[in-house]
């Protein structure tokens, strides 16, 4: 059973590929009680990451100003974000690029179109696993 207290206290960085999709993902994620920081560029994402340590990152594969795979690598190289779960969303990705994302350490991959509940379950599971692992490391 998911500890909704942890979910409600959690921060999600949302990196979308366009404003309309970001608004929809924001609505879906906030429905589970998470505080969400939506951005639409990698530059904005990096700015947020210097100030916050999100409990989960939900990102589109192809933000307007660069590749999402590069951001995954950036997150994994930073100690503060090394274990942050990343949910990658896309409508189209090659097997090679998906394999690169998996090798870089994404938590999960979600193909569009998907049901709201699919994204909500993944975010909740990612955050729960993240908090459980943090407690186990202490």
Give helix then strand counts, H and E, for the chain: 6, 5
Domain that holds residue 12: 4-137
- One DSSP character per residue, 57-88 reads EEEESS-TTS-HHHHHHHHHHSGGGTT--EEE
* Domains in the chain, number: 1
Q: Six-digit token pair at 133?
A: 């692992």
| Residues 6 or more apart in contact with residue 100 via CB below 8 angstroms | 69
CATH number of the domain that residue 90 is part of: 3.40.50.2300
Read off the pLDDT band of 3 (50, 70, 90).
low
Q: What is the pLDDT of residues 70-123, one digit of tens each?
A: 888 888 888 888 899 999 998 888 889 889 899 999 999 999 999 999 999 999
Q: Give me the residue label for tokens 């207290």.
A: 5
Query: What pTM, to 2 d.p., does this model score?
Result: 0.89
| Residue 81 per-residue DSSP state | G
Q: pLDDT of 13-63, one tens digit each? A: 999 888 888 999 999 999 999 999 999 888 888 888 888 889 999 998 877
Q: Give the mean pLDDT of the chain.
A: 87
Cβ contact 68:59 at 8 Å: yes
């Amino acid at each position: 059973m998911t500890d909704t207290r942890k979910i409600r206290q959690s921060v999600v960085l949302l990196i979308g590929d366009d404003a309309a999709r970001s608004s929809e993902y924001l609505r879906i994620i906030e429905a589970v009680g998470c505080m969400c920081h939506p951005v639409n560029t990698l530059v904005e994402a990096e700015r947020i990451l210097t100030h916050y340590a999100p409990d989960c990152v939900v990102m589109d594969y192809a933000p307007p100003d660069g590749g999402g795979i590069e951001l995954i690598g950036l997150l994994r190289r930073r100690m503060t974000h090394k274990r942050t779960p990343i949910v990658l969303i896309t409508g189209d990705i090659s097997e090679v690029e998906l394999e690169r994302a998996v090798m870089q350490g994404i938590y999960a991959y979600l193909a569009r179109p998907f049901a709201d509940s699919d994204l909500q379950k993944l975010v909740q599971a990612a955050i729960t696993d993240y908090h459980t692992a943090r407690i186990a490391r202490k």
